[in-house]
C-alpha cells in the first residue's frame, strides 16, 4: 500500500508536491487522510426554516437573473432562489463563471451556511451539489481542488482494496464489537449509511487511541531518572507565608504534589490545569522557590512578550524578597542586552530566567537548570517544550494550561503528564455577569459603559477581524475603534491593539490601558491571554457567534479580576450556545460543552499534529470511547509478555516511533 502517489490518475509532479506539503507521501497516507466532516445531501431544509448560523442542504429554483459586482479584489455573484416556502439571496465570491449557470428556473441542490447580511438571511458561497447521501469533506490542501482530492481518495481506496491487515488482536476486536478494517477504511470515506459511518470511525478511532495510550505507557516507563531537588521541610510553608493572601486548599494540595515530584528521583512531568484566576501562577512561583531552596536554577517560558513581562514583574515582587534573582530574556532585547542575559543565565547570576521562546535559542546555556515551567501549554508544540528541557540534564517539567480541558480528554491528550487540577477559586473573586446584547440594544450599552468609566473602571472591546472584509460579515476592530473614538464615546480615552501592529506599538498601547491612562481598549483576540488589568470590569465581544465557547470563556476571564462587579456582553442574536455561556462561569463545564459541540479535533486544532492522526478527529466528543481505550491500554500493559499484547506494543512503537525514539526496546 506504500505505492507512490503517481500511481493515481490525475496526480502529476505539481500535485505530488502539494500532497507532500500536507504530509501525504504515499497512497496509504492518502487513505488515512480522513474527512473532517460529511454533508448529508438527503437532509433537506426548507428556506423558511433557515436561521443565521445554520449549515444546510436546500433544494431551490433560480428566481431571477444573477447580478455581478466588484469590491476591492472580490467578484461578487448574487442571485435570488426560492423553494416555494421563501425567497432568499445567495452570494458567491470570486466565482464569476457561476453567473452564466444561474439561469432563471434552473433547479439546484445547494449546501452552505446561512448568514445575516444587511438584515436578510443569505446563503454564502454554497457548493452546487449533485446526487445525494453522505458526501465526505476534507481539510483543504493548497493546490488540490476539493473535487480532485475526493476523486484521488476514491482511487486510492480502490488501489488498497482488501489489503488492510487486521492488526488488532481478535479478542480485542470481539470484546468491543469493532468492524473489519477494510470495511472501516472504505466507509470512513464513502459510507452507505450513517450506521456504517459510525462503525467505521469508531473502529479507526479505537485503534488509533489504543495504540497512542500504549505508546504513552511505554514512554512513561522509559523515562530517564531526573534531577532530585532537596529543600528544607518548612520551605513550602515559608513561601505561603510570604504571599499577601492565604492560599486556597486546592493550591496547597497541588503544591504538595509538585513538591513530592521535585524530591523524587524521577523527572517531574506535571500539568497544572485550572480555570482563569484559580492561582496557577502562584503555584509555579512556589515551585521555582523550592528549586532555588535546593540550589537549582529555573526557567519560565510564556508564549508572548506581554505575558512574559507580566510574569517577570510579578516574579520580582514575589521572588526577589526571598533572595531569588530574576531575569528577563525576550526577542526584543538589544544585542548587548541579549549577550548580558546569556551570560547571566550561564554563570548562574540569574536564579530564574523568564521569557519567550528566546529561552530555547541555540546560544542559551544554563548553569544548573533544575526546573522548567511553561505557561499556556497549548500554545507550545511538544518539540518546543522538549527543547527547553534539553537545556539541562533531565530537569523537572511543570506546564500550566489556562484552557480548561475535560478531565477524560486531558488524560488522553496529555497522557505523558501527571495532571493536577486547581478546582477552587480564591475568595473575593466576583463571578462575571454574562449577557447577550442584540443589535437593537447597542445604544443602551454605550450608556452603561459611560457609567462604569465614571466609577473609574475600564472596558475591553474584542472584535474577530482587524479590518473590513467583504467575504466575512463581522465588525472589524479598526471600524469599532473609529466609531467609538469619533461618535459613540468621544469623551473617553480609547486605544487600539491588534496582531498586525509592531510589537513595540502594541505593548505601549497595552501598557497605557494597564496603567489606567486609557479607559477603553479595542482589540482582536490578541488579549485572549496575558493581560491582567484588575480595574477592567466590562468585556464587550463583537460578533460573539463567531467565537468558540472556550475562546469566549478565555476572553471573559480578562475581567472579574478585582473586587468590583464585572460584566461580559456578547453582541449577537440569542442562540443556544450563547445562552449556555450566560448560564455558567465554570471553565470545565464550558470546555465539556465545547467538546460536545465541536469535537476534540476542532477543540485541539493542529497542535497534536504528529501524535494523533485519525482517532482524535474521528471522536466527535465520544468520551466513552476515550475511557474505554484508556482502560484497555492500562489492562494490556499489565501483561506485557502475552503474545497479543506484544503485537499491540509493536504496533504502538511503529505508529508513534517519533515519541518513543529514546525508549529502550525490551
Distances (CA, A) of 484 to 476, 490, 520: 12, 6, 9
List pLDDT tens digits, range 467-524.
Answer: 545 445 556 888 899 999 999 999 999 999 987 888 788 888 888 998 999 999 999 8
Cell numbers representing residue 39 in the block: 454533508
Q: How many CB atoms lie within 10 A of CB 380?
A: 21
Range of the domain at 286: 235-263+276-403
Give the pLDDT band of residue 530 (cuts 50, 70, 90).
low
Are 392 and 442 found together in one domain? no
Are 53 and 109 found together in one domain? yes
- The whole-angstrom separation of Cα 522 and Cα 538 is 12
- The whole-angstrom separation of Cα 474 and Cα 571 is 11
What pLDDT was estimated at residue 473? 54
Q: Strand pairing partners for 78?
A: 67, 91
Who wins on pLDDT, 287 or 630? 287
> Residue 349 belongs to a domain with what CATH number?
3.40.50.300
Strands, E assignment, 323-367: 326-329, 352-355
Residue 220 DSSP class: H
List pLDDT tens digits, range 405-424.
Answer: 776 666 666 666 788 888 88
The answer to whether residue 226 is domain-embedded is no
What pLDDT was estimated at residue 174? 92
SS3 call for 313: helix
- The whole-angstrom separation of Cα 227 and Cα 236 is 19
By DSSP bridging, strand 74-82 and strand 87-93 are: antiparallel
Last residue of a domain, one of 526, 555, 584: 584
- The whole-angstrom separation of Cα 603 and Cα 598 is 7
Are 256 and 335 found together in one domain? yes
What pLDDT was estimated at residue 658? 61
Are 254 and 363 found together in one domain? yes
Task: Using a pLDDT cut of 90, give the percent of the chain over it.
Answer: 48
Are 384 and 444 found together in one domain? no
Are 330 and 460 found together in one domain? no
Could you tell me the strand order of the sheet in which 396-401 lies?
A: 326-329, 352-355, 297-301, 369-374, 396-401, 269-274, 418-422
Task: Using a pLDDT cut of 70, give the percent of the chain over it.
Answer: 86
What is the chain's alpha carbon radius of gyration, rounded to the nearest angstrom?
27
Distances (CA, A) of 232 to 294, 334, 401, 570: 8, 39, 29, 50
Q: Which of 288-292, 374-378, 425-429, 599-603 has the lowest mean pLDDT?
A: 599-603
The answer to whether residue 500 is domain-embedded is yes
SS3 call for 371: strand
Nearest Cα residue to 533 out of 559, 553, 566: 559
Say how many domains are in the chain: 3
What pLDDT was estimated at residue 377? 52
Are 361 and 437 found together in one domain? no
The answer to whether residue 29 is domain-embedded is no
Give the pLDDT band of residue 607 (cuts 50, 70, 90).
very low
The answer to whether residue 26 is domain-embedded is no
- The whole-angstrom separation of Cα 547 and Cα 553 is 10
> Residue 65 belongs to a domain with what CATH number?
2.40.50.140
The answer to whether residue 489 is domain-embedded is yes
Q: Which of 298-302, 559-563, 570-574, 637-641 has the lowest mean pLDDT?
A: 559-563
- Judge whether residue 608 has pLDDT over 50: no
Cβ contact 270:418 at 8 Å: yes
What pLDDT was estimated at residue 73? 82
SS3 call for 322: helix
The answer to whether residue 662 is domain-embedded is no
The answer to whether residue 308 is domain-embedded is yes
- Judge whether residue 654 has pLDDT over 90: no
The answer to whether residue 165 is domain-embedded is no
- The whole-angstrom separation of Cα 206 and Cα 21 is 28
Last residue of a domain, one of 129, 163, 198: 129
Give the pLDDT band of residue 104 (cuts 50, 70, 90).
very high
Q: How much is the mean pLDDT over the chain? A: 85
Residues in the chain: 666
The dihedrals phi and psi of 461, each to the nearest 5 degrees, come to: -120, 120
The sign one gets for the Cα dihedral 421, 424, 430, 431 is positive
Last residue of a domain, one of 403, 418, 442: 403
What secondary structure does DSSP assign to 126-165, as a single string?
Answer: EEEE-S-SEEEE---BTTB-HHHHHHHHHHHHHHTTT---
Cell numbers representing residue 301 in the block: 517560558
- The whole-angstrom separation of Cα 219 and Cα 558 is 37
- Judge whether residue 590 has pLDDT over 80: yes
Are 365 and 438 found together in one domain? no
Cβ contact 509:521 at 8 Å: yes
Are 366 and 482 found together in one domain? no
Q: Which of 296-305, 377-386, 651-660 has the lowest mean pLDDT?
A: 377-386
Are 496 and 353 found together in one domain? no
Are 556 and 495 found together in one domain? yes
What pLDDT was estimated at residue 119? 85
Give the pLDDT band of residue 3 (cuts 50, 70, 90).
confident
Strands, E assignment, 376-463: 396-401, 418-422, 433-437, 458-462
Strands, E assignment, 406-535: 418-422, 433-437, 458-462, 494-497, 520-523
Give the pLDDT band of residue 328 (cuts 50, 70, 90).
very high
List pLDDT tens digits, range 199-256.
Answer: 998 999 899 888 888 887 787 666 567 889 999 999 999 999 998 889 999 999 999 9
Q: Torsion over CA of 648, 652, 653 and 658, rounded to 10 degrees?
A: 180
Task: Work out the burial of residue 225: count CB atoms within 10 Å of its CB; fewer than 13 is exposed, 13-18 middle, 19 or more buried.
Answer: exposed
- The whole-angstrom separation of Cα 114 and Cα 410 is 34
Are 389 and 248 found together in one domain? yes
Average pLDDT over residues 37-59: 92
Amino acid at each position: 500500500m506504500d505505492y507512490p502517489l503517481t500511481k493515481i490518475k490525475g496526480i502529476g509532479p505539481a500535485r505530488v508536491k502539494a500532497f507532500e506539503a500536507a504530509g501525504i507521501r504515499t497512497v496509504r497516507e492518502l487513505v488515512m487522510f480522513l474527512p473532517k466532516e460529511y454533508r448529508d445531501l438527503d437532509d433537506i431544509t426548507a428556506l423558511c426554516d433557515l436561521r443565521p448560523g445554520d449549515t444546510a442542504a436546500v433544494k431551490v429554483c433560480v428566481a431571477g437573473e444573477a447580478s455581478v459586482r466588484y469590491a476591492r479584489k472580490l467578484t461578487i455573484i448574487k442571485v435570488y432562489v426560492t423553494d416555494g416556502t421563501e425567497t432568499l439571496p445567495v452570494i458567491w465570491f470570486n466565482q464569476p463563471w457561476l453567473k452564466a449557470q444561474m439561469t432563471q428556473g434552473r433547479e439546484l441542490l445547494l449546501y452552505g451556511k446561512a448568514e445575516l447580511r444587511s438584515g436578510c438571511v443569505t446563503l454564502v458561497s454554497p457548493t452546487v451539489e449533485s446526487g445525494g447521501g453522505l458526501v465526505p469533506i476534507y481539510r483543504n490542501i493548497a493546490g488540490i481542488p476539493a473535487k480532485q482530492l475526493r476523486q484521488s481518495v476514491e482511487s486510492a481506496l480502490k488501489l488498497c482494496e482488501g489489503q488492510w491487515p487486521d492488526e488488532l488482536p481478535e479478542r480485542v476486536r470481539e470484546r468491543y464489537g469493532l468492524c473489519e478494517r477494510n470495511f472501516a477504511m472504505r466507509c470512513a470515506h464513502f459510507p452507505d449509511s450513517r450506521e456504517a459511518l459510525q462503525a467505521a470511525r469508531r473502529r479507526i478511532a479505537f485503534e488509533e487511541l489504543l495504540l497512542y495510550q500504549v505508546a504513552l505507557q511505554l514512554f512513561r516507563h522509559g523515562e530517564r531518572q531526573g534531577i532530585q531537588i532537596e529543600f528544607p521541610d518548612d520551605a513550602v510553608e515559608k513561601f505561603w507565608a510570604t504571599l499577601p493572601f492565604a492560599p486556597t486548599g486546592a493550591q496547597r494540595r497541588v503544591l504538595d504534589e509538585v513538591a513530592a515530584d521535585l524530591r523524587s528521583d524521577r523527572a517531574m512531568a506535571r500539568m497544572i490545569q485550572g480555570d482563569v484566576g484559580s492561582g496557577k501562577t502562584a503555584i509555579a512561583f512556589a515551585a521555582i522557590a523550592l528549586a532555588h531552596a535546593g540550589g537549582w536554577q529555573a526557567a519560565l517560558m510564556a508564549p508572548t512578550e506581554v505575558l512574559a513581562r507580566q510574569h517577570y514583574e510579578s516574579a520580582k515582587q514575589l521572588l526577589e524578597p526571598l533572595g531569588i534573582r530574576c531575569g528577563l530574556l525576550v526577542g526584543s532585547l538589544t544585542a548587548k542586552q541579549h549577550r548580558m542575559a546569556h551570560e547571566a543565565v550561564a554563570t548562574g547570576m540569574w536564579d530564574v530566567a523568564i521569557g519567550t521562546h528566546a529561552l530555547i535559542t541555540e546560544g542559551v546555556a544554563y548553569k544548573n537548570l533544575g526546573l522548567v515551567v511553561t505557561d499556556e501549554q497549548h500554545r507550545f508544540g511538544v518539540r518546543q517544550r522538549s527543547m527547553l528541557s534539553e537545556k539541562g540534564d533531565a530537569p523537572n517539567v511543570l506546564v500550566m494550561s489556562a484552557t480548561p480541558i475535560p478531565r477524560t480528554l486531558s488524560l488522553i491528550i496529555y497522557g505523558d503528564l501527571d495532571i493536577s487540577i486547581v478546582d477552587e477559586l480564591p475568595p473575593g473573586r466576583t463571578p462575571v455577569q454574562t449577557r447577550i446584547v442584540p443589535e437593537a440594544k447597542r445604544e443602551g450599552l454605550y450608556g452603561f459603559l459611560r457609567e462604569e468609566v465614571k466609577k473609574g473602571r475600564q472596558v475591553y472591546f474584542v472584535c474577530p477581524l482587524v479590518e473590513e472584509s467583504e467575504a466575512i460579515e463581522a465588525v472589524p476592530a479598526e471600524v469599532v475603534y473609529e466609531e467609538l473614538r469619533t461618535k459613540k464615546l468621544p469623551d473617553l480615552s480609547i486605544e487600539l491593539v491588534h496582531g498586525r501592529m509592531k510589537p513595540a506599538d502594541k505593548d505601549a498601547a497595552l501598557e497605557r490601558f494597564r496603567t489606567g491612562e486609557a479607559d477603553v481598549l479595542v482589540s482582536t483576540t490578541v488579549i485572549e491571554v496575558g493581560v491582567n488589568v484588575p480595574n477592567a470590569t466590562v468585556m464587550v465581544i463583537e460578533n460573539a457567534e463567531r467565537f468558540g465557547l472556550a475562546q469566549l470563556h478565555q476572553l471573559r476571564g480578562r475581567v472579574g479580576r478585582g473586587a468590583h462587579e464585572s460584566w461580559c456582553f456578547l453582541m449577537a442574536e440569542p442562540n443556544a450556545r450563547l445562552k449556555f455561556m450566560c448560564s455558567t462561569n465554570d471553565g470545565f463545564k464550558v470546555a465539556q460543552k465545547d467538546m460536545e459541540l465541536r469535537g476534540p479535533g476542532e477543540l485541539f486544532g493542529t497542535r497534536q499534529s504528529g501524535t494523533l492522526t485519525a482517532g482524535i478527529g474521528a471522536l466527535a466528543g465520544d468520551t466513552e470511547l476515550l475511557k474505554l481505550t484508556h482502560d484497555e491500554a492500562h489492562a494490556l500493559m499489565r501483561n506485557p509478555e502475552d503474545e497479543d499484547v506484544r503485537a499491540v506494543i509493536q504496533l504502538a512503537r511503529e505508529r508513534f516511533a517519533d515519541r518513543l525514539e529514546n525508549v529502550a526496546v525490551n
